[in-house]
Amino acid sequence: MAKIRIYQLAKELEMSNDELLKILDDMGVTYKSHASTLEEDTALAVKELIGEQKVAEAARKAEEARKSIPHRPPVVVIMGHVDHGKTSLLDYLRKSRIAEKEAGGITQHVGAFEVKTPGGTVVFIDTPGHEAFTTIRQRGAKVADIAVIVIAATEGVMPQTKEAIAHAKASGAKIIFAANKMDLPGADINKVYQDLMQLGLVPVAYGGDVEVLPISAKTGQGVADLLETILLMAELEDLRADPKAEAQGVILEARVDKQAGVLASLLVQQGTLRIGDYVVAGECWGKIKAMSDAEGNRRTEAGPGSAVQVLGFSELPSAGDTFTWVPDQVAAKEITEERIEERKASEARGDLQRARSLADLMRKAQQDEQKEINLILRADTQGSLEAIQNILAKEATEEVKINVLLAAVGAPTESDVLLASTAHGAILAFSVNPSGSVKKAAEQKGVPLQSFRIIYELIDEIRKMVKGQREPVYKEEILGTAEVRAIFRLSRGVIAGCMVTSGKVTRSADIRVLRKGKEIWKGKIGGLKRLKDDVREVTQGFECGILLDGFTDFQEGDVLEASQQVEVATD
C-alpha cells in the first residue's frame, strides 16, 4: 500500500474527513487538512483500528438485537420408568391449569399445553414417555429445552429411568429429576440420591449440579418448586424467539378426521403463524384455514411457544417434521416437489441404505470423517456390563471417542433401537437375546445389532471397531542386504548379479541403492531371479539377479538394501 491522502482514506473507510482527522488526533498524529498525505504505516494502523472498532460495534449491535428479541416460554418433556408417575404429573399439571379456567376444561388434545405461574409460562409436551419424544427428535427437530425425569422415591432408579436419561442427554435437553410419591410411607429421597450418584450424576444436595426435587403428583407437594426450578433453568438458558420472524416449528401430532380432514398439532418455535399462511412440512404443504388451542378456543395467530391444532394440510405430515412458512402456494408446491425428487434420487443411488454391521458403521463414520462411536450396551448381569465398560474405557483413544448412550441389564428393546437409530449408533448385546420384533426393528432402521456369548469375541469386535477408526501408523523394517558382484546388460535392462549378504530380498520389497554408505536411489524391484527362475525371495548366502524399476547405473560393490513398510500395532 502506497501513501494515501486523508480524504481518500476517509472515503475508503466510509466516514467523513472530520471523523478521520479526530481518530488520527486521538492516535497522537495531528494533521491540519484532509488533503494531507499519510505514510503507509500510519494508514495501515488506522485501518486496523477502524476494523477492530467495526467488529466490536457489529458484535455490540448483534447482542443488542438479540436482547431486543423477547423471551419465550421453556418447552418441557416428562419422562421416567413405567408407573413412576410421569402421566400422573402431567395430569396434575393439566388440572392445575384447568382449575384456573371456566367450566369445560380441555376440549381437544393438541400435543402440548401451557401452565401459567407467577414467574412465567411453561409449555409441556403432552406425550409422556421417551420413545414418543425420541421419535419426534429422530426426524431432526429439537423439541424440548428441559427434560423432567420422574423417579418414584419408593423404588429409586429403574431400567427405564436409565433409558430416559440416555434419551434426554442425546437430545441436548437440560435435565431435572423429580423424586415422586413423597406422600407414600416408603419414600426415600436419599435412595434416589444414591442411585443417581452411581450413574455419575451428583445431586445439588450432595454438592453437585444435578437438580433433584421431591414432589407428589397426587397431592401437588413440591410441584410449585418444580415449576420454579424449570423457569430458573430457562432464565439461565436465556431462551428467546422473534415473533416477527417467518413462522417455523415442529409437527407434534397429525391425524385424519373423517369430517374435517387432516388435522395437525404444531408447536410454533419461531415467528408467528397466522390464518391464511402457507407452510411446508417434509413432503407436505398446506394453507392454514383454521386454528385452535388446547382449550378449543379459535385462534387467528400463534406466536413462539404456542401449541395449536391447524386445518389445511394437503396430506398427513409426520410427527417431528419441521414446518416453515412460505410466501405462497407456488413456492409450497415447488419445495415439496423438489424434496420428493431428492428422496427418489437418493433412493435410486442407494444413499438411504444404513449400516447393517459394526464394520459398516465404522466405514460410514470414516467416510463422514467422524471419530466418535455411539453404543448401547445390554448384558445379562451388572457385572458383565461393568466389565464391558472397562474394556471400552481401555480401548478408547484420543483419536476415537466411544460414547455409551445406555448400559443396562436385560435384552435389547425397541426403545434401544430408536435411540441407536437417532444417534447413528450400534447395539452390543452380551448373553442376552433380542426378540424377533427388536431384530426386525433394527433391520428396518438400519441399526447394527450384534449378540455375543463369549466375552473375548466381544472384546475382539470392539478392538476391530476402534482400530478401524484409527489412522494406520507404519514403520520401515529392514529385510536384508545384497552386494552387487557383477553387472549384465541385456535387451530387457541392466541386471545386477548379487550375493545376499544378510536377511533376505523379496520381490515386493522397497530397495535402496547404497554406494560407499550413501543412498543414491530408492525404488521398487522390477524382477528377481535365482538362476533362470523368477522367484519371490532369495535368502542369505545365495546368489540372485536383480532388475530395478528405473535404475541401471550399477557399480560393483554397490549395496542393495531391501525393506518393507509394516503397520505398527497401536494397542
Residues 125-147 pLDDT 10s = 876 555 556 666 555 557 889 99
Of 216, 214, 336, the residue nearest 286 (C-alpha): 336
* C-alpha to C-alpha distance for 247 and 259, rounded to whole angstroms: 28
Same-domain status, 155 and 91 = yes
* C-alpha to C-alpha distance for 172 and 43, rounded to whole angstroms: 48
Task: Provide the 3-class DSSP secondary structure of residue 4.
Answer: strand
303: enclosing H helix or E strand: none
Same-domain status, 64 and 26 = yes
pLDDT at res. 444: 86
DSSP state letter for 71? B
Q: What is the mean pLDDT of the chain?
A: 84
Q: What is the CATH number of the domain that holds 478?
A: 2.40.30.10
Of 435, 446, 284, the residue nearest 364 (C-alpha): 446
What percentage of the chain exceeds 90 in pLDDT? 42
> Which amino acids are annotated as binding site for GTP, given as ranges?
80-87, 126-130, 180-183
Angle at 320 between CA 68 and CA 352, to 5 degrees: 120
Per-residue pLDDT, averaged over 4-20, amounts to 79
Same-domain status, 13 and 42 = yes
pLDDT grade, residue 94 (50/70/90)? confident
What is the value of pTM for the model shown?
Answer: 0.61
For residue range 29-54, list pLDDT tens digits in order.
Answer: 777 677 778 777 777 877 777 776 76
Range of lowest pLDDT (293-302, 424-433, 470-479, 544-553):
470-479
> Which amino acids are annotated as binding site, given as ranges?
80-87, 126-130, 180-183
What would the grid cell of residue 1 be? 500500500
pLDDT at res. 480: 95
- Tell me which of 210, 237, 264 is where a domain ends: 237
Task: Provide the 3-class DSSP secondary structure of residue 351.
Answer: coil
Of 548, 557, 552, the residue nearest 514 (C-alpha): 557
Say how many domains are in the chain.
Answer: 5
Q: What is the CATH number of the domain that holds 50?
A: 1.10.10.2480
Of 82, 4, 78, 89, the residue nearest 47 (C-alpha): 4
Query: Does any domain span residue 195?
Result: yes
Handedness of CA 529, 531, 536, 540 (dihedral sign): negative
pLDDT at res. 114: 87
Is 153 within 8 Å of 179 (Cβ atoms)?
A: yes
Q: Residue 540 is part of which domain span?
A: 474-567
* C-alpha to C-alpha distance for 43 and 15, rounded to whole angstroms: 14
Is 374 within 8 Å of 167 (Cβ atoms)?
A: no
Same-domain status, 333 and 372 = no
Same-domain status, 110 and 210 = yes
Query: Does any domain span residue 242?
Result: no
* C-alpha to C-alpha distance for 144 and 420, rounded to whole angstroms: 19
| Cβ atoms within 10 Å of 164's Cβ, excluding its own | 33
Same-domain status, 437 and 492 = no
**Cα dist from 108 to 25, 315, 366, whole Å:** 70, 21, 48
Same-domain status, 52 and 120 = no
**Model confidence at 365: pLDDT above 90:** no
In the chain, the amino acid numbered 296 is G
**Model confidence at 562: pLDDT above 80:** yes
In the chain, the amino acid numbered 280 is V
* C-alpha to C-alpha distance for 443 and 445, rounded to whole angstroms: 6
471: Cβ–Cβ under 8 A, 6 or more apart, which residues?
399
Query: Does any domain span residue 243?
Result: no
Beta-ladder partners of 78: 148
Q: How distant is the alpha carbon of residue 175 from its chain centre?
A: 18
Same-domain status, 50 and 139 = no
What is the length of the chain? Answer: 571
- Tell me which of 15, 44, 68 is where a domain ends: 68
**Model confidence at 180: pLDDT above 90:** yes
Q: Mind giving me the DSSP string for 143-167?
A: --SEEEEEEETTT---HHHHHHHHH
* C-alpha to C-alpha distance for 506 and 517, rounded to whole angstroms: 22
Beta-ladder partners of 347: none
